[in-house]
Amino acid sequence: MKKPLIVQKFGGTSVGSVENIQKVAKHIIEAKDDGNQVLVVVSAMAGETNRLVDLAQQIDSVPNARELDVLLSAGEQISMALLAMTLNKLGYAARSLTGGQAKIVTDEKHNNATIEDIDTQGIRTLLDQEQIVIVAGFQGVNRNGDITTLGRGGSDTTAVTLAGYLGARECQIFTDVDGIYTCDPKIVHQAKKLSTIDFLSMEEMAKRGAKVLHLPSVKYAQKHNVPLRVLSTFKNSSKGSFVTGQQAPDGICGIALQDEMQLIEIDSTLIASLLAQCHMLGIAIWNTIESKNTTQFVVKYADYIKLKLTLSEKEHTASLVNLITVVGSMKEVSEDKIRAILSENGVKIIFYTLNIRSFTVAIRPEEVDKVANILHDIYIDSAVVIER
């Protein structure tokens, strides 16, 4: 009988040093010794992608997108080779593959590509030969053979998509935290770990800035019903958090944070052409606020750098903001209550938006810790956290 397949993904902190890579190898060997086929996806070592981006920007503040992908793809290749060396030395046959060697085909969009297809025949052959297959995350090739990358956090999407194509029993995402929390525990010390969370709530958390999972990976897992678990590389006893279920129950599931955002105000008559420019550059608009003569919109700061030349004299004002979002059923959320409580605590809300699954406030970056703890206290600590 064919052995079940486990896909394991290890993030940058997990492979951030030779010592940590040896810890990663133990997780892989444990899964292999339990009678599974094992496919591993790795990120670049912690800080490596930022180092490579910095090198590129020393040459050009807005680097050529194709060449930037060629450069950034090197980070994951370092990790995969070191891990394969470690496993082979420990007596376990392992083979590393780049995105191109793994036959991961993407669209043409450099720096933020989407996986379109994976030819898994070569991977299946290696797995059937009892080899541990290690794939570089975050990358693929387009149909012209050019290297592409999937955007920050894209290794999650590589792992989940491979798990779906290969019919894995489970896709395990290993990080430096032991699961999915109701908020970033580094900011909200009372944040609670969720044993389970449904796909819809997890998607909204990821969409609103929670960095534990890459948004496209959650969407793919939901669409193809890929069993998804978030675990810690450094806590062997933890079962982590399981993402499952297609129905979102009532209640609040968490507080999501998004930093380094830029709020830009321009003349309303110019917004249509600017939105077209954003579409051409692949820049996501997070929020748009209309007023009488001007329009405000929010983009990531890195995208704002790309837009600066286009904005030129069109730009009225630009300022850094952070977004904090209450995620879950909005039945119990009162925008008047949130505004009143934050005002009482001396917090100025720059703007807010409300939809069926989230309430977002934009604030000054220096107020993030205070606001996150206030909202967590209101909607998490004083209520029952939703879990399936």
Residue list, annotated binding site: 9-12, 49, 76, 175-176, 181, 211-212
Write out the DSSP string of 52-99: HHHHHHHH-SS--HHHHHHHHHHHHHHHHHHHHHHHHHTT--EEEE-T
CA gap 156, 90 in Å, rounded: 26
Task: Single out the residue of 310, 302, 306, 303 nearest to residue 271, CA to CA.
Answer: 310
CA atoms within 13 A on the CB side of 380: 26
CA gap 182, 44 in Å, rounded: 27
Calculate the CA 170 to chain-centre distance: 19
Classify 322 as helix, strand or coil.
strand
Question: Is 197 in contact with 249 (CB distance < 8 Å)?
Answer: no
Annotated binding site for ATP: 9-12, 175-176, 181, 211-212
Annotated binding site for substrate: 49, 76
Maximum pairwise Cα distance, the chain: 69
Sign of CA dihedral 163, 166, 170, 175: negative
Tokens of 220: 């793919």
